[in-house]
Amino acid sequence: MENRAYNYAIVRSFVTWSVIWGLVAVLVGVIVSLQMVEPDLNFPPYLTFGRLRPIHTNAGIYGWGVGVIFATFLYIVQRLCKTPLWSDKLAKFQLWFFNATIIASAVTLLLGYTTSKEYHEMEWPIDVMIVILWVAFAINIVMTILKRKDEQMYISLWYMLAAIIGVAILFTVNAAAVPASLFKSYSAYAGTNDANVEWWFGHNAVAMALTAPPLAMFYYFLPKTTGVPIYSHRLSITAFWSLIFMYLWTGAHHLLWTPVPDWIQTLAMGFSVMLIAPSWGSVFNGYLSMNGQWHQMRENYLVKYLILGITFYGLQTLQGPMQAIRTFSAFIHYTDWVPAHIHMGTMGWVSMISFASIYFLIPRIYGREVYSIPLANLQFWLILVGQLIWSISLWIAGVLQAGMWNAMNPDGSLTYTFMETMVEMYPYWWARVFGGLIYMAGLVVFIYNLYMTVSKGKPLATQTASVEGRA
Amino acid sequence: MWEKKPVLLIVLATGVILIGTIITMVLPFAWVNTEADRIEGVKPYSALQQEGRDIYIREGCNNCHTQTVRPLVSDVLRYGDYSKSGEFVYDRPFLWGSKRTGPDLARLGGKYPDAWHYQHMESPRAMVPKSNMPDYGWLSANQLDPQVIQHKMETLGFPFTAEEINALKGKTEMDAMVAYMQKLGSDIPWRQNAKTEIVGDLTNPYAGVGHATMEPWEELYQQNCAACHGEHMEGVIGPELIGGDYDDEVLFEIIYTGIADGGMPSFSNLGTDKVWKLVNFVKYYHLGEGH
Ligand code: HEM
C-alpha cells in the first residue's frame, strides 16, 4: 500500500536524463581526443579543443555523475526511510532545473564564458543555478530522512548527508567572484591563494561527488544484489568518519612544487597517504561481504559490475596517494599519466557503480525485467576493455614523456626538445581514441538495452518484489 | 547515537570537514600574497595585456598550457627561472593549469619577437609542423571594445590612463593576446640573471668535417631554426644566415646564449654538442661538397 506512494516517476526521469548527458559527455570526449591527434578538426570559434574539453568534463561530472546521484539517492532515500519523498513538487522542479542548468552550462561554455577553474568553469549566473539546484535536492533528502520510519540510518544515508554538506561548502567558497558583466567575473582570490582554494575544491569534488555518493550506492546496492549484508558495521563507521576527515587536507597534492607554501604541500602529501586506510576500509568491507558469495560473480552480472567497480576504486586510491608523493609527482605531474588516473576513476569506478545501480533500478521502477542479460554482459566487457585501453596507453605515454622531459646529456643539458617529446605521444593518443570508441560502443549497447527494457521488457514476476521487501 | 539523529550527523560532519579546510585552506591567507610575498617589479596588467589574458581564458588555452615553472632541474633548464608566489598577485584567476600538452608559458615573455607570435597563432603548424595547437588566426578579425575593457580594469582595480584606453581603438584580439604573451614571466629580470656563462675554451669539435657528415644535422636546423630563418636560411623573422662571416666561437655564442633584445632565443638547452653541429651546419653546409 505504502509502496504505491513512493515516487518512482522522478527516479525514471533522472535515470533517462543522466544517461542522455552521459552519452553527450562520452561523445564530446571522443571528439576532443580526435582533436588532439587531428588539429584540423578544430572549428573556431566554438568547436575548438580549448572550449570543448570543459564541456566534456562538466557533462561527465555534473550531467552523468550528478544525474545518477539524483536518480539513485531519490530512490534509496525513500526505500531506506520507508516513506515517500517529502515533496514530489520540489523533486519535479529539481528535475527540470537540473536539465536547464546543464543546457545553460553547455551553451555558455561553447560561447567562451568560462572562469577557467577546473570543474568549476561555469560563470557566476550558472553557479547561482547550481546552488539553487543543490538546495532543492538537499531539502528534499533531509526532510525525507527526518520523517523516516526506521530510527537507525543506514550507511548510505551517512554518505549522502556528508556529500550534500560537503558539495555545498566547497562549491560556494570556490565560486566567490566579482562580476564584471553578466558572463565575466574575476575570482575573489588572487594567484597562489586562488590556486590553493581551487584545488581544495577540486580534490574534494572528487571526494564529495565522485567518492562518497558512489560509496552510498555501493553500500546499498551490493547487499541488495547479493542478498548478504555488509561485512562489518564497525568498519563502515571508522571508514566513513576518517574518510571525510582526511580528504579535506589533501587538495595541495595537485600543487606540489608550485609556489604554494611547503607546509601545506607536506600536509597534503601525508594525509593523502593516510587516505589509503579509509578508502581500503570500504574496499575490504565490500570484498569481505562477498565471503561465500564469490560464485555470484559468475552468475549475476550486477555483482560483476559492483565488484569490478570497487576494485577500480581500490586501485585508484592506491595510485592517487602515490601521485601525491613529491618525488613521484615531480615525474608524472603535467603528463598524460594524470588523465589515465582520472579515467580509471570515472570510467572504472564511478560509471561501473552507476551502470550497476541503474540496471538494479530499472526493473523496480518500470516493473519490467531487464531486456537482455547477454547484452548487459557484452556492455560490461566493452566498457572494461575500452577503459583499460584508455588508461594503460596513457600511463605508458605519461611515463615515456616524463622520462624524455627529464633526460639529460652528459654535459648537463636536456636531451630532448619539447616537440621531440610531444610527437612521441601521437600513437598513444590514437590508442585513446580507439579505447574511447569501444567504451562508447558499450554505452550505446546500454542505452539500447534500457530502451528495449522499457518498451518491450517482460512484466516483472512477483519474486523480485519480495527481495524488495528487505530494507 | 549520531546514527539515529540526522541533524547531529550533519553538524558533526560539517565540523569534521571544516577542520582540514580551516588549516589548509583558510589559514594560508595569513601568509600568501602578504607583504612578505611581494616582489618589486611585478606590476598589474595593462589594459591590453589584461584583455589578452581574458581571451586566453575564453579560448581555454589553459587546457593545454601550464604557467608555473617548478624548482626542478629539467623544468628550469627547459623553461627558465622557477615561479615565485609574488609573481602571481595580480592573477585573477590563477592560470597554472594541470596538463602540459603544449609547453609551459610562465616564462614566455621576451622569448620570441612579436612577429613570431602573430605567425604562430595564425598557423602553429606553419612554424612547428607536428604541433596540435588549433589555429587562432580568426582573433585578428575581432576588434577590441575599449569601453568594456575600461570597465574590466575598474572592476579589477588596476591603474590605467585615458590614453591607454584610447589606444585600444583599432586593435584586435590578436594584438591583445600577443601583448599578454610578451608580459608572461618578464616582470622579474630573470633572463639577465640566468644568462648562461660560457666557461672554458671554445674549440669547434667538428672543424673540417665533410658535407656528408653534416647531412643528418639539417634535421636540427629545420626543427629549431627554420621557422625564423627560413627553410633554406633565406631569412623570415630572423635575418638571412648565408653570407654572415662570424668566427666559429662567435657563432657558437650567438646560438648558445641568443640575442636577448633582438628576438633570437637562447639554445643552451640543446647542449653544447648540438650547438656545435648547428654552427658547422649554418656556416658550411650551403657551400656544398668539398668546400
Ligand atoms: C586516496 C584517494 C586519491 C588520492 C590521494 C588521489 C590523488 C590524486 C592526485 C595527487 C592527483 C593529481 C595528479 C597530478 O596532477 O599530478 C589526482 C588527480 C585526479 N584524481 Fe585522484 N586521487 C584519489 C582518488 C581518486 C578517485 C576515487 C577519483 C574518482 C574519479 C579521482 C579523480 C581524480 C581526478 C578527476 C583528477 C584530475 C585533476 C586534474 O584535473 O588535474 N581520484 N588524484
Both B130 and B257 in one domain: the answer is no
Task: Give the pLDDT confidence of A286-343 residue by residue, as tens digits.
Answer: 999 999 999 999 999 999 999 999 999 999 999 999 999 999 999 999 999 999 999 9
Residues of chain A with pLDDT under 50: 1-3, 464-471
- Measured over the CA atoms of residue A240, residue A243, residue A246 and residue A249, the dihedral's sign is negative
Number of helices and strands in chain A (H, E)? 21, 2
**By residue range, what is the domain housing residue A295?**
9-460
Contacts with B71 from chain A: Cβ below 8 Å? 257
Residue B289: pLDDT band with limits 50, 70, 90: low
pLDDT, position B263 = 86
> Does B189 share its domain with B219?
no
| pLDDT at site B167 | 96
Give the position of cell 506512494.
A5
What is the CB neighbour count within 10 angstroms for residue A123? 23
B25 contacts A191? CB cut-off 8 A: no
Task: With beta carbons less than 8 A apart as the criterion, state whether A420 and B219 touch.
Answer: no
Whether B71 and B184 map to the same domain: the answer is yes
From the CB of A211, is ligand 1 less than 6 Å away?
yes
Mean pLDDT on B285-289: 75
Interface residue B98 vs chain A (CB under 8 A)? yes
Is A420 part of any domain?
yes
Which residues are CB-contacts of A271 (< 8 A; sequence separation ≥ 6)? A246, A249, A250, B20
Domain count, chain B: 2
* Residue corresponding to grid cell 597517504: A273
**Is A449 a domain residue?**
yes
Mutate to test the pocket of ligand 1, among A280, A323, A343, A391 (most ligand atoms within 8 A of CB): A323
Query: Shortest Cα distance from A379 to chain B (angstroms)?
Result: 31
Give the pLDDT band of residue B285 (cuts 50, 70, 90): confident
C-alpha cell at A398: 605519461
Mutate to test the pocket of ligand 1, among A32, A254, A319, A390 (most ligand atoms within 8 A of CB): A254
Is the same domain home to B183 and B280? no
Which residue from A minimizes the CA distance to B69? A258
Q: Is residue B9 part of a domain?
A: no
Residue of chain B nearest A251, judged by CA positions: B24
Percent of chain B at pLDDT exceeding 70:
98
| Domain total of chain A | 1
Which residues in chain A (83-122) have CB-CB distances under 8 A to chain B?
A: 112-118
Kindly state whether residues B147 and B180 are assigned to the same domain.
yes
Global confidence as pTM: 0.94
Within-domain flag for B40:
no
Q: Which residue type, as a one-letter code, is found at position B277?
A: K
Nearest to B59 by CA among A113, A186, A41: A113
Q: Which of residues 271-310 of A touch B (CB under 8 A)?
A: 271
Is residue A467 in some structural domain?
no
Residue B217 within a domain: yes
Of B12, B187, B218, B142, the closest CA to residue A245 belongs to B12
Residue A3 within a domain? no
- Beta-bridged to residue B259, according to DSSP, are B264
Q: Do A191 and B91 touch (CB under 8 A)?
A: yes
Q: Which atom of ligand 1 is nearest to the CA of A339?
A: 37
- Angle at the Cα of B212 (from B207 to B217), degrees rounded to 5? 75
pLDDT value, residue B290 = 57
Q: Is B200 on the interface with A (CB under 8 A)?
A: no
pLDDT digit string, tens, across residues A207-246 = 999 999 999 999 999 999 999 999 999 999 999 999 999 9
**Is residue B195 over pLDDT 80?**
no
Q: Would A466 be classed as within a structural domain?
A: no
Nearest alpha-carbon partner for A236 in A257, A250, A218: A218
**A181: chain B residues, CB-CB within 8 Å:** 148, 151
Ligand 1 contacts CB of residue A265 (under 6 A): no
Q: Are B135 and B104 part of one and the same domain?
A: yes
**Cα–Cα distance between B218 and B237 in angstroms, integer?**
19
Spatial contact of A201 and A212, defined as CB atoms under 8 Å apart: no
- Give residue A253 CA to ligand 1 midpoint distance, Å: 9
Question: Amino acid identity, residue A189?
Answer: Y
Rounded mean pLDDT of B176-192? 93
Inter-chain contact A334–B98, Cβ cutoff 8 Å?
yes
- Of the candidates B59, B138, B95, the residue with the CA atom closest to the CA atom of residue A52: B59
Residue B201 within a domain: no
Same domain, B169 and B216: no
Which residue's alpha carbon is nearest to atom 34 within ligand 1?
Answer: A342
Using the structure block, give the residue that is written with the C-alpha cell 519474486.
A463
Rounded CA-CA distance B26/B20 in Å is 9
CA of B232 to the centre of ligand 1 (A): 48
If asked whether residues B103 and B176 sit together in one domain, one would say: yes
In a domain, B36, yes or no: no
Domain-located, residue A471 = no
A230: domain CATH number? 1.20.210.10
Is residue A229 classed as helix, strand or coil in its secondary structure?
A: coil
Looking at the fold, whether B65 and B179 belong to one and the same domain comes out as: yes
One domain, residues B167 and B51:
yes
**Cβ distance A394 to A432 under 8 Å?**
yes
Cβ of A279 closer than 6 Å to ligand 1, yes or no, is: yes
A189 contacts in chain B (CB < 8 Å) = 92-93
CATH at residue B84: 1.10.760.10
What CA dihedral angle connects A126, A128, A131 and A137, to 10 degrees?
-70
Indicate whether B1 pLDDT > 90.
no
* pLDDT band, residue B202 (cuts 50/70/90): confident
Strand A177-181 and strand A184-187: pairing?
antiparallel
Helix ranges (H only) for A179-232 are 191-209, 212-226
Asked whether residue B188 falls in the same domain as residue B215, the answer is no
Q: What is the DSSP letter of A178?
A: E
Residue A465 lies inside a defined structural domain of this protein: no
| Pick from A161, A254, A414: CB nearest B13 | A161
CA distances from A386 to A57, A390, A433, A456 (A): 18, 6, 10, 29
- Distance from Cα A204 to the centre of ligand 1, integer Å: 10
* B171-B176-B181-B186 Cα dihedral, nearest 10 degrees: 90
Partners of residue B32 in chain A, C-beta under 8 Å: 191-193, 196, 260-261
- Among the candidates B193, B228, B259, a domain finishes at B193
Burial of B147 (C-beta count, 10 Å sphere; 0-12/13-18/19+): exposed
Same domain, B189 and B226: no
For B152-174, the pLDDT digits (tens) are 999 999 999 999 999 999 999 99
Q: Which domain holds residue B270?
A: 211-287
Lowest mean pLDDT among A126-140, B91-105, B202-216: B202-216
**Closest of B132, B155, B206, B279 to residue A426, by C-alpha:** B132
CA distance B244 to A344: 56
